[in-house]
Amino acid sequence: MVSVGTHESVLVDDIELDRSNPRIRKFLEMYGNAPTPEQIYLALGAGNDDDSSTSSSTTYEKLKQSIISNGGVIQPVILNRRNDGTLVCVDGNTRVALYKHFQETNVRGDWSRIPASVHAEIDEASVHAIRLQVHLVGPRPWDPYSKAKYLYELRTQEHLPFATIVDYCGGRQSEVVESINAYSDMEQHYRPVLGDDGAFDTTRFSGFVELQKPGIKQAISATGFDLSDFAKWIHEGKVYPLQKVRVLPRILRNHRAREIFLKHGARKAEAVLERPDINRTLQDAELGQLAQALIARIASLPFREHERIRNDLGGDTAQTLIEAQTELTNLTKSLGLTT
Protein backbone atom coordinates (compact mmCIF):
# COMPACT_ATOMS: atom_id res chain seq x y z
CA MET A 1 0.00 0.00 0.00
CA VAL A 2 1.47 3.34 -1.08
CA SER A 3 1.37 6.02 1.60
CA VAL A 4 -0.63 9.20 1.05
CA GLY A 5 1.71 12.02 0.09
CA THR A 6 1.58 15.55 1.47
CA HIS A 7 1.39 18.42 -1.03
CA GLU A 8 4.30 20.79 -0.57
CA SER A 9 6.26 23.44 -2.43
CA VAL A 10 9.77 22.00 -2.41
CA LEU A 11 13.13 23.64 -3.10
CA VAL A 12 14.38 22.20 -6.39
CA ASP A 13 17.97 22.22 -5.13
CA ASP A 14 16.94 19.75 -2.41
CA ILE A 15 15.65 17.18 -4.90
CA GLU A 16 17.79 14.32 -6.21
CA LEU A 17 17.00 12.69 -9.53
CA ASP A 18 16.13 9.01 -9.24
CA ARG A 19 19.43 7.46 -10.26
CA SER A 20 18.11 4.00 -9.40
CA ASN A 21 15.63 4.27 -12.28
CA PRO A 22 17.03 1.79 -14.84
CA ARG A 23 16.42 4.17 -17.74
CA ILE A 24 18.22 7.11 -16.17
CA ARG A 25 20.98 4.78 -14.93
CA LYS A 26 21.73 3.66 -18.49
CA PHE A 27 21.88 7.28 -19.69
CA LEU A 28 24.24 8.15 -16.84
CA GLU A 29 26.54 5.43 -18.15
CA MET A 30 26.35 6.99 -21.64
CA TYR A 31 26.53 10.70 -20.80
CA GLY A 32 28.18 10.86 -17.38
CA ASN A 33 26.62 12.24 -14.22
CA ALA A 34 25.00 15.27 -15.84
CA PRO A 35 22.54 14.21 -18.55
CA THR A 36 20.50 17.03 -20.06
CA PRO A 37 16.76 17.27 -19.33
CA GLU A 38 16.04 16.14 -22.90
CA GLN A 39 18.28 13.08 -22.51
CA ILE A 40 16.45 12.19 -19.31
CA TYR A 41 13.13 12.67 -21.05
CA LEU A 42 14.12 10.38 -23.90
CA ALA A 43 15.63 7.83 -21.50
CA LEU A 44 12.36 7.61 -19.60
CA GLY A 45 10.47 6.87 -22.80
CA ALA A 46 8.21 9.83 -22.16
CA GLY A 47 7.59 10.46 -25.86
CA ASN A 48 4.32 9.04 -27.16
CA ASP A 49 4.89 6.92 -30.25
CA ASP A 50 1.18 6.67 -30.93
CA ASP A 51 1.51 9.91 -32.86
CA SER A 52 3.92 9.03 -35.64
CA SER A 53 3.95 12.62 -36.88
CA THR A 54 5.41 13.91 -33.61
CA SER A 55 8.94 12.95 -32.58
CA SER A 56 9.99 12.55 -28.95
CA SER A 57 12.21 15.62 -29.29
CA THR A 58 9.27 17.68 -30.53
CA THR A 59 7.12 16.47 -27.65
CA TYR A 60 9.91 17.33 -25.22
CA GLU A 61 10.09 20.86 -26.61
CA LYS A 62 6.33 21.22 -26.19
CA LEU A 63 6.66 20.21 -22.53
CA LYS A 64 9.52 22.64 -22.01
CA GLN A 65 7.72 25.57 -23.64
CA SER A 66 4.47 24.74 -21.83
CA ILE A 67 6.20 24.94 -18.44
CA ILE A 68 7.83 28.26 -19.36
CA SER A 69 4.56 29.71 -20.70
CA ASN A 70 2.60 28.67 -17.61
CA GLY A 71 5.33 29.70 -15.20
CA GLY A 72 5.54 26.22 -13.73
CA VAL A 73 3.94 22.78 -13.65
CA ILE A 74 0.37 21.94 -12.70
CA GLN A 75 0.86 18.23 -11.99
CA PRO A 76 2.97 17.79 -8.81
CA VAL A 77 6.07 15.65 -9.02
CA ILE A 78 6.22 12.67 -6.66
CA LEU A 79 9.05 12.58 -4.12
CA ASN A 80 10.27 10.06 -1.59
CA ARG A 81 11.67 11.45 1.67
CA ARG A 82 14.18 8.89 2.87
CA ASN A 83 14.92 8.31 6.53
CA ASP A 84 18.06 10.49 6.23
CA GLY A 85 15.90 13.40 5.03
CA THR A 86 16.99 13.36 1.37
CA LEU A 87 14.29 13.84 -1.26
CA VAL A 88 14.40 11.54 -4.30
CA CYS A 89 12.19 12.08 -7.34
CA VAL A 90 10.06 9.00 -8.00
CA ASP A 91 8.03 10.53 -10.83
CA GLY A 92 8.71 13.81 -12.60
CA ASN A 93 12.46 13.59 -13.16
CA THR A 94 12.23 15.49 -16.45
CA ARG A 95 10.27 18.34 -14.86
CA VAL A 96 12.73 18.58 -11.96
CA ALA A 97 15.65 18.53 -14.41
CA LEU A 98 14.00 21.32 -16.44
CA TYR A 99 13.57 23.48 -13.33
CA LYS A 100 17.26 22.99 -12.50
CA HIS A 101 18.16 23.78 -16.12
CA PHE A 102 16.01 26.94 -16.10
CA GLN A 103 17.83 28.15 -12.98
CA GLU A 104 21.25 27.46 -14.50
CA THR A 105 20.41 29.23 -17.78
CA ASN A 106 18.60 32.17 -16.16
CA VAL A 107 15.25 31.57 -17.83
CA ARG A 108 12.85 34.29 -16.72
CA GLY A 109 10.67 33.15 -13.83
CA ASP A 110 10.94 31.61 -10.38
CA TRP A 111 12.21 28.05 -10.73
CA SER A 112 13.46 27.65 -7.18
CA ARG A 113 10.46 25.63 -5.96
CA ILE A 114 8.24 22.98 -7.53
CA PRO A 115 4.88 21.58 -6.39
CA ALA A 116 5.32 18.04 -5.08
CA SER A 117 3.53 15.16 -3.43
CA VAL A 118 5.98 14.06 -0.75
CA HIS A 119 5.86 10.51 0.61
CA ALA A 120 7.73 9.36 3.69
CA GLU A 121 10.16 6.45 3.36
CA ILE A 122 8.30 4.47 0.72
CA ASP A 123 9.88 1.14 -0.18
CA GLU A 124 11.03 -0.06 -3.59
CA ALA A 125 7.82 -1.99 -4.19
CA SER A 126 5.80 1.19 -3.71
CA VAL A 127 8.12 3.07 -6.06
CA HIS A 128 7.40 0.49 -8.79
CA ALA A 129 3.68 0.71 -8.04
CA ILE A 130 3.69 4.50 -8.49
CA ARG A 131 5.56 4.33 -11.81
CA LEU A 132 3.28 1.62 -13.15
CA GLN A 133 0.10 3.41 -12.09
CA VAL A 134 1.22 6.74 -13.55
CA HIS A 135 2.78 5.53 -16.79
CA LEU A 136 1.03 2.28 -17.65
CA VAL A 137 -2.58 2.95 -16.68
CA GLY A 138 -2.45 6.55 -15.49
CA PRO A 139 -2.78 9.99 -17.09
CA ARG A 140 0.69 10.11 -18.66
CA PRO A 141 1.16 6.77 -20.40
CA TRP A 142 4.47 5.68 -21.85
CA ASP A 143 4.47 4.39 -25.41
CA PRO A 144 3.99 0.58 -25.72
CA TYR A 145 7.71 -0.14 -26.20
CA SER A 146 8.67 1.81 -23.08
CA LYS A 147 5.96 0.10 -21.04
CA ALA A 148 7.26 -3.28 -22.17
CA LYS A 149 10.84 -2.26 -21.40
CA TYR A 150 9.93 -1.37 -17.84
CA LEU A 151 7.91 -4.56 -17.35
CA TYR A 152 10.86 -6.55 -18.70
CA GLU A 153 13.21 -4.87 -16.24
CA LEU A 154 10.88 -5.50 -13.32
CA ARG A 155 10.64 -9.16 -14.25
CA THR A 156 14.26 -9.94 -15.21
CA GLN A 157 16.23 -7.48 -13.05
CA GLU A 158 14.00 -6.91 -10.04
CA HIS A 159 12.61 -10.48 -10.26
CA LEU A 160 9.11 -9.38 -9.37
CA PRO A 161 6.52 -12.19 -9.72
CA PHE A 162 4.09 -11.87 -12.60
CA ALA A 163 1.20 -11.73 -10.15
CA THR A 164 2.73 -8.68 -8.42
CA ILE A 165 3.32 -6.87 -11.72
CA VAL A 166 -0.26 -7.56 -12.82
CA ASP A 167 -1.55 -6.28 -9.47
CA TYR A 168 0.35 -3.04 -10.02
CA CYS A 169 -0.69 -2.32 -13.59
CA GLY A 170 -3.94 -4.24 -14.02
CA GLY A 171 -4.88 -6.30 -17.05
CA ARG A 172 -4.19 -9.99 -17.49
CA GLN A 173 -0.98 -11.93 -16.89
CA SER A 174 -1.06 -13.15 -20.49
CA GLU A 175 -0.87 -9.53 -21.69
CA VAL A 176 2.10 -8.81 -19.42
CA VAL A 177 3.90 -11.97 -20.62
CA GLU A 178 3.16 -11.07 -24.24
CA SER A 179 4.53 -7.57 -23.81
CA ILE A 180 7.70 -8.77 -22.06
CA ASN A 181 8.34 -11.44 -24.70
CA ALA A 182 7.75 -8.94 -27.51
CA TYR A 183 10.34 -6.58 -25.97
CA SER A 184 12.82 -9.44 -25.57
CA ASP A 185 12.37 -10.57 -29.19
CA MET A 186 12.70 -7.03 -30.51
CA GLU A 187 15.92 -6.40 -28.58
CA GLN A 188 17.39 -9.78 -29.47
CA HIS A 189 16.56 -9.82 -33.18
CA TYR A 190 15.59 -6.34 -34.43
CA ARG A 191 18.42 -4.31 -32.88
CA PRO A 192 21.21 -6.43 -34.48
CA VAL A 193 19.56 -6.03 -37.89
CA LEU A 194 20.04 -2.27 -37.72
CA GLY A 195 23.79 -2.33 -37.16
CA ASP A 196 25.67 0.45 -35.42
CA ASP A 197 24.27 3.25 -37.58
CA GLY A 198 20.61 2.22 -37.78
CA ALA A 199 17.91 4.17 -36.01
CA PHE A 200 15.98 1.98 -33.56
CA ASP A 201 12.33 2.56 -34.44
CA THR A 202 10.19 1.78 -31.39
CA THR A 203 7.01 2.19 -33.45
CA ARG A 204 7.81 -1.25 -34.94
CA PHE A 205 7.16 -2.77 -31.52
CA SER A 206 3.54 -3.66 -32.32
CA GLY A 207 4.83 -6.04 -34.98
CA PHE A 208 6.69 -7.98 -32.31
CA VAL A 209 3.55 -8.01 -30.16
CA GLU A 210 1.69 -9.61 -33.06
CA LEU A 211 4.54 -12.12 -33.32
CA GLN A 212 3.52 -13.51 -29.92
CA LYS A 213 0.09 -14.60 -31.18
CA PRO A 214 -0.40 -18.39 -31.42
CA GLY A 215 0.96 -20.03 -34.54
CA ILE A 216 3.05 -17.12 -35.86
CA LYS A 217 6.48 -18.28 -34.68
CA GLN A 218 5.66 -21.88 -35.51
CA ALA A 219 4.74 -20.91 -39.08
CA ILE A 220 7.97 -18.93 -39.51
CA SER A 221 10.07 -21.85 -38.27
CA ALA A 222 8.12 -24.48 -40.22
CA THR A 223 8.89 -22.74 -43.52
CA GLY A 224 12.63 -22.53 -42.91
CA PHE A 225 12.90 -18.99 -41.56
CA ASP A 226 13.78 -17.68 -38.12
CA LEU A 227 13.15 -14.58 -35.99
CA SER A 228 16.16 -12.79 -37.47
CA ASP A 229 14.44 -13.10 -40.85
CA PHE A 230 11.26 -11.73 -39.27
CA ALA A 231 13.20 -8.75 -37.89
CA LYS A 232 14.62 -8.07 -41.37
CA TRP A 233 11.12 -8.18 -42.85
CA ILE A 234 9.96 -5.66 -40.25
CA HIS A 235 12.96 -3.41 -40.89
CA GLU A 236 12.58 -3.57 -44.66
CA GLY A 237 8.88 -2.75 -44.49
CA LYS A 238 7.79 -6.06 -45.99
CA VAL A 239 5.28 -6.50 -43.18
CA TYR A 240 3.26 -3.31 -43.54
CA PRO A 241 1.00 -2.35 -41.94
CA LEU A 242 2.28 -4.24 -38.92
CA GLN A 243 -0.99 -6.06 -38.26
CA LYS A 244 -0.20 -8.01 -41.44
CA VAL A 245 1.97 -10.15 -39.17
CA ARG A 246 -1.28 -12.04 -38.52
CA VAL A 247 -1.40 -13.08 -42.18
CA LEU A 248 2.18 -14.39 -42.28
CA PRO A 249 1.26 -18.05 -41.58
CA ARG A 250 -1.07 -18.13 -44.58
CA ILE A 251 1.42 -16.29 -46.77
CA LEU A 252 4.38 -18.49 -45.84
CA ARG A 253 2.42 -21.71 -46.36
CA ASN A 254 1.45 -20.65 -49.89
CA HIS A 255 4.42 -21.05 -52.29
CA ARG A 256 3.36 -18.31 -54.71
CA ALA A 257 2.36 -15.88 -51.95
CA ARG A 258 5.65 -16.52 -50.16
CA GLU A 259 7.70 -15.65 -53.26
CA ILE A 260 5.74 -12.44 -53.78
CA PHE A 261 6.08 -11.54 -50.09
CA LEU A 262 9.87 -11.92 -50.11
CA LYS A 263 10.09 -9.61 -53.13
CA HIS A 264 7.27 -7.14 -52.63
CA GLY A 265 5.85 -7.48 -49.12
CA ALA A 266 2.73 -8.66 -47.36
CA ARG A 267 0.16 -6.45 -49.11
CA LYS A 268 0.81 -7.88 -52.56
CA ALA A 269 1.30 -11.39 -51.20
CA GLU A 270 -2.04 -11.36 -49.42
CA ALA A 271 -3.78 -10.41 -52.67
CA VAL A 272 -2.98 -13.79 -54.22
CA LEU A 273 -4.30 -15.84 -51.31
CA GLU A 274 -7.60 -17.57 -51.90
CA ARG A 275 -10.54 -15.78 -50.33
CA PRO A 276 -13.36 -17.78 -48.76
CA ASP A 277 -16.59 -17.74 -50.76
CA ILE A 278 -19.03 -15.99 -48.45
CA ASN A 279 -22.55 -16.49 -49.72
CA ARG A 280 -25.16 -13.75 -49.91
CA THR A 281 -26.98 -15.00 -46.78
CA LEU A 282 -23.89 -14.51 -44.63
CA GLN A 283 -23.07 -11.16 -46.23
CA ASP A 284 -26.58 -9.86 -45.54
CA ALA A 285 -26.83 -11.22 -41.98
CA GLU A 286 -26.84 -8.75 -39.10
CA LEU A 287 -23.84 -8.66 -36.79
CA GLY A 288 -25.87 -10.04 -33.90
CA GLN A 289 -27.07 -12.94 -36.02
CA LEU A 290 -23.52 -13.78 -37.05
CA ALA A 291 -22.44 -13.65 -33.40
CA GLN A 292 -25.24 -16.01 -32.38
CA ALA A 293 -24.35 -18.40 -35.18
CA LEU A 294 -20.69 -18.37 -34.15
CA ILE A 295 -21.60 -19.02 -30.51
CA ALA A 296 -23.76 -21.97 -31.53
CA ARG A 297 -21.05 -23.33 -33.85
CA ILE A 298 -18.39 -23.14 -31.16
CA ALA A 299 -20.68 -24.73 -28.56
CA SER A 300 -21.28 -27.72 -30.85
CA LEU A 301 -17.70 -28.01 -32.12
CA PRO A 302 -16.79 -31.71 -32.44
CA PHE A 303 -13.76 -32.84 -30.46
CA ARG A 304 -12.05 -34.08 -33.62
CA GLU A 305 -12.30 -30.63 -35.23
CA HIS A 306 -11.16 -28.99 -32.00
CA GLU A 307 -8.02 -31.14 -32.00
CA ARG A 308 -7.40 -30.53 -35.70
CA ILE A 309 -7.37 -26.78 -35.14
CA ARG A 310 -5.29 -27.06 -31.97
CA ASN A 311 -2.66 -29.13 -33.74
CA ASP A 312 -2.38 -26.66 -36.62
CA LEU A 313 -2.11 -23.21 -35.01
CA GLY A 314 -0.59 -21.80 -38.18
CA GLY A 315 -3.46 -23.07 -40.29
CA ASP A 316 -6.17 -21.00 -41.94
CA THR A 317 -8.87 -21.82 -39.39
CA ALA A 318 -6.76 -21.03 -36.33
CA GLN A 319 -5.38 -17.81 -37.80
CA THR A 320 -8.82 -16.67 -38.95
CA LEU A 321 -10.16 -17.27 -35.43
CA ILE A 322 -7.31 -15.17 -33.99
CA GLU A 323 -8.06 -12.34 -36.45
CA ALA A 324 -11.76 -12.54 -35.57
CA GLN A 325 -10.97 -12.41 -31.87
CA THR A 326 -8.78 -9.33 -32.36
CA GLU A 327 -11.43 -7.50 -34.38
CA LEU A 328 -14.17 -8.47 -31.91
CA THR A 329 -12.08 -7.28 -28.96
CA ASN A 330 -11.40 -3.95 -30.67
CA LEU A 331 -15.11 -3.54 -31.47
CA THR A 332 -16.36 -4.34 -27.97
CA LYS A 333 -13.81 -1.95 -26.47
CA SER A 334 -14.79 0.87 -28.84
CA LEU A 335 -18.47 0.29 -27.98
CA GLY A 336 -17.70 0.45 -24.26
CA LEU A 337 -18.79 -3.15 -23.74
CA THR A 338 -15.39 -4.20 -22.37
CA THR A 339 -12.35 -2.45 -20.88
pLDDT in tens, 189-221: 999 998 766 678 889 999 999 999 988 999 999
| pLDDT exceeds 60 at position 18 | yes
CA dist 182 → 30, 46, 116 (Å): 25, 20, 35
Q: How far apart are CA 95 and CA 170, in angstroms?
A: 27
| pLDDT exceeds 90 at position 10 | yes
**Looking at residue 232, what is its pLDDT?**
96
- Identify whether the C-beta of residue 96 lies closer than 8 Å to the C-beta of residue 78: no
pTM: 0.64
Please list the helix, strand and coil fractions of the chain in percent, rounded to the nearest 5, in that order.
60, 10, 35
| pLDDT category of residue 57 using cuts at 50, 70 and 90 | low
| pLDDT category of residue 104 using cuts at 50, 70 and 90 | confident
Query: Average pLDDT for residues 114-142, to the nearest whole number?
Result: 79
**Looking at residue 48, what is its pLDDT?**
43
Average pLDDT, the chain: 83
Q: pLDDT tens digits, residue range 267-296? A: 999 988 876 666 777 777 888 888 888 888
128 or 15, which is more confident? 15
